[in-house]
């Protein structure tokens, strides 16, 4: 994770330099924690976090959960976001999203099986973090609407 953190911090620095003499620009940091169902529960316990993030509709706890993960795992990136508030490049508050797919325990000699759920007219689909995806798309729509102003 340290390599990713350093790469993102370098990208933010490059963006900052390219915007140093231009008009004020806003950047909307978005953290998507994918394959969240594969995170080691002991790692989350070390941060005093539950095994699953709070419901995306509970904005405060959801934000705090994401912030705890980003602060711990991407300290250079978070420091870069905080340091650039007064330098022409304005960072909006980061948004955090979590992607997962539910699985059922493996039967003897077989691998894990993706859990399915019934979904209206669609039929059966993987049991995945649909609320997180919808919130993510809404966030992108809000950013696009803000950019048109």
Contacts for 39-46: CB closer than 8 Å, 24+ residues apart: none
Measure the CA–CA gap between 78 and 5, rounded to whole angstroms.
9
Comparing C-alpha atoms, which of 38, 39, 56 is closest to residue 47? 39
26: helix, strand or coil = strand
CA 118 centroid distance within chain? 27
Instruction: Tell me the per-residue pLDDT of 103-139, one tens digit each, with 9 for 90 and over.
Output: 877 777 777 788 888 887 778 888 888 899 999 999 9
Domain residues for the domain of 59 are 2-148
Say if strands 95-98 and 30-33 run parallel, antiparallel, or are unpaired.
parallel
| Token pair listed for 24 | 């004020």
Average pLDDT for residues 57-76, to the nearest whole number?
93
pTM here is 0.79
Segment 54-61 shows an average pLDDT of 94
* pLDDT level of residue 27 (50, 70, 90 thresholds): confident
Distance in angstroms (rounded) separating the CA atoms of residues 144 and 4: 26
Query: For 80-102, what is each residue's pLDDT tens digit?
Result: 888 755 556 778 889 999 988 87
Domains: count for the chain: 1
């Amino acid at each position: 994770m340290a390599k990713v953190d350093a790469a993102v911090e370098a990208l933010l620095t490059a963006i900052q330099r390219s915007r140093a003499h231009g008009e004020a620009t806003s950047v909307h940091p978005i953290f998507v924690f994918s394959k969240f169902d594969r995170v080691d529960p002991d790692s989350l316990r070390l941060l005093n976090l539950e095994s699953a993030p709070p419901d995306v509709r509970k904005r405060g706890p959801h934000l705090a959960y994401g912030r705890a993960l980003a602060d711990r795992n991407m300290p250079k990136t978070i420091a870069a976001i905080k340091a650039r508030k007064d330098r022409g490049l304005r960072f909006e508050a980061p948004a955090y999203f979590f992607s997962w797919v539910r699985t059922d325990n493996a039967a003897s000699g077989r691998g894990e099986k993706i859990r399915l759920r019934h979904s209206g007219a669609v039929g059966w689909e993987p049991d995945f973090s649909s609320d997180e995806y919808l919130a993510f798309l809404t966030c992108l729509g809000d950013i696009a609407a803000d950019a048109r102003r």
